[in-house]
Structure 1
Amino acid sequence: MHNRTMLDWDDLKYFVAVARHGSTLAAGRALQVDQSTVQRRLAALERHIGRPLTLRHPSGYRLTAFGQEMLPAAQEVERAALAFEQALADSKRNAAGVIRMTCPEPLVNRLTRSGLLDRFHARHPAFRVEFVMSDKYLDLRHGDADVALRSGDTVDGALVGRKLGDSLWAVYASRTYVARHGQPARIEELADHPLVGFDDTMANHRAASWLREVAPQAHIVARNDSVLGLLLSVKAGVGIAPLPTALGDAEPDLVRVLGPVPELARIWRLLALPEVRRTPRVSALFDFMVEEIDALRPIITG
């Protein structure tokens, strides 16, 4: 029979979430449950232990001295549970041959149309690539994806990878815009034109940082949360913006008005965690991409 005196380990995640977020409401949002569930599970944990872990204040919840003492051990249980869930998910993906690759959305269309993935699937019918599209860097250590096709500064020493090509950026405008408003002849003239930029969610992107540096007083007429949004805004003639040359040069309605811009150049890499890199499915993808590097470079560089 079930021992009713045993600790329900699942209750610990509610304690950790309240400690992390400072309130039961925020903890509930993070755990995707309602606030009352967090309060009930936290109260059940404290009843089982027989001592309070938290104190309620007008501004939220604070840990008691005992709660502070127990928090590291609870966090260790959380890490172990997440590691188990990740190992279980990895095992299922390995058995199914699924490779989740994260990369920017515009690149998915170019890769798909190139026939590159068709050749990979034909060579390795037991493996299947699934895209996780994002312009932001997803955390491979948290299992957001298995492989990242990523350009930019890679400071995560936990990842291993291979250079596949160069990421070049230039400044573009639509032909309609140029006909009506002209185009900048120098970078210093960018401030004289309406610009399309990123919103706050992409404020750390190198293109956003570069525009702030070279045209701090410029008028930003539209903000987007993706490179695809930039592209569509420029095509619509809203303003001008830096874009990857692989995208901008492929659009007949766009004109490259400046660049490539050396400050925006980066390297395209295929990245994975070492233990994931060694799995048969991911190893097959790495080897294939290296073999097809001549076909891949025009896709990612233009």
Structure 2
Amino acid sequence: MFAWDDLRYLLAVAENGSTLSAARALKVNQSTVQRRLSGLEAALGLRLIERLPSGYRLTPAGLEILPAAQAVAAAVESLERQAARAAHSGTLRLTCPEPIAIRLVHAGFIDRFHERHPGIRIEFVLADRYIDLAKGEADVALRSGDTDGDMIGRKLADSIWAIYASRDYVDRNGAPRSIPDLKTRQLITFDESLASHRVSLWLNQVAPDVHYAARANSVLALVSSTRAGVGIAALPVALGDAEPDLIRVLGPIPELTRAWRVLAHPDARGLPRVAAFFDFVASEMDALGPILTG
């Protein structure tokens, strides 16, 4: 069985008339051309080229197989084009917090990506838990907070949190004056499914043994409960500041600040659709800042 790639050297000599010109066309050494041709001849058991004072020419056997070699080259080029189209098409599964997905859509980020890459369609993977990139549950993540060390990504912005209360709550109870004052207030926190979230851990430190007015299983549920006047909650400023019925009563809270990153698993980072998303994110940094941080 011969190496199909060796046909390129036969075609180059046939087109250029010498091994030196073929080497230049293929950007390899002349000795490489001669070696690959010798290997092809040995594998086929045929003498394919002969040297003349005016250069090289194909032997009758070489001329006989030339159309088949050209057909193989054309088929390879067709395969490469189809592979390139397939690589830049399909579905890109993007995981991020639900509020960020909404803001990405409303800001036109998703539409602009689709305009630049019409063959790739973004599919959101939304959940209150971290979607596992290592298990292939999504291709790319926009994520804040602690991340797995083996993920590849870049920082996009800071995730900033502050303490919010509804205007009605403040009218009825007043606003807390300091972090220690939170111990005396009705607080809203995450439920046990998000017990390891930095907000849950921080509240356990600054307000231990406090009676919580409500527990929520998502950031959006925190916002809704706070807006309803159930109690006070730590919220991302991108969401809290956007709510006209909420007041930022304390903060930002430095202990809750983390980095927003775009992340992918090393095995997925080189995929063309993932690389296209990373490149698009790099070109959209100015637009992403307000989306992520408000």
Query: Please, what TM-score do these two structures have when normalized by structure 1?
Result: 0.67
Report what 1:205 is aligned to.
Answer: 197
- Give the letter for the 2:174 counterpart: G
Amino acid of the structure 2 residue aligned with 1:106: P
| Cα RMSD for the two superposed structures | 1.3
- Within the candidate set 256, 264, 269, 2:256 is matched to 264
Deviation at residue 277 of structure 1 after TM alignment = 1.2
Select 1:163's aligned residue among 155, 163, 171.
155
Structure 1 residues 98 and 300, CA, compared in 2 at 3 Å: closer, same or farther? same
Pick one of 96, 109, 130 that aligns with 1:103. Answer: 96
Alpha-carbon offset, residue 275 of structure 1: 2.5
The residue type equivalent to 1:244 in the other structure is P
Q: Residue 9 of structure 1 aligns with which residue?
A: none
Q: Which has the larger radius of gyration?
A: 2
Q: For the residues of structure 2 that align with 1:205 and 1:94, how far apart are their CA atoms? A: 37
Match of 2:83 in 1: none
Residues in 2 aligned to 1:150 and 1:136: alpha-carbon distance in whole angstroms:
11
Q: Which residue of 2 aligns with 1:6?
A: none
Determine if contact 1:103/1:135 at 8 Å carries over to the other structure: no
Instruction: Report Cα offsets for 1:250-299 as digits up to 9, x if no partner.
Output: 11110000000000000000100122111111111111111111100111
Alignment correspondent of 1:301: 293
* Residue in 1 that maps onto 2:224: 232
Mapped contact 1:167–1:300 kept (Cα < 8 A): yes
Moved over 3 A (4+): 93-96
CA distance in 2, matches of 1:234, 1:125: 40
| Structure 1 residues 205-256: Cα deviation after superposition (integer angstroms, max 9, x where no partner) | 0000000000013220111111111010000000000000000001111000
Q: Report SS of the residue matched to 2:124.
A: strand
Corresponding position of 1:122: 115
Q: What is the total number of aligned residue pairs between the two structures?
A: 209
1:190 is aligned to 182
Work out the percentage of aligned pairs sharing the same amino acid.
59
What are the within-5 Å matches in structure 2 for residues 37-186 of structure 1? 96-154=89-147, 156-186=148-178
The worse-fitting range, judged by mean Cα deviation, of 183-192 and 136-145 is: 136-145
Q: Deviations over 1:49-81 (max 9, x none)?
A: xxxxxxxxxxxxxxxxxxxxxxxxxxxxxxxxx
SS of 1:142's equivalent in the other structure is coil
Secondary structure in structure 2 of the residue aligned to 1:237 = coil
User: In the TM superposition, what is the alpha-carbon distance from 1:192 to its structure 2 partner?
Assistant: 1.0
Shift of 1:151: 0.2
Unaligned runs of 5+ in 1: 1-92
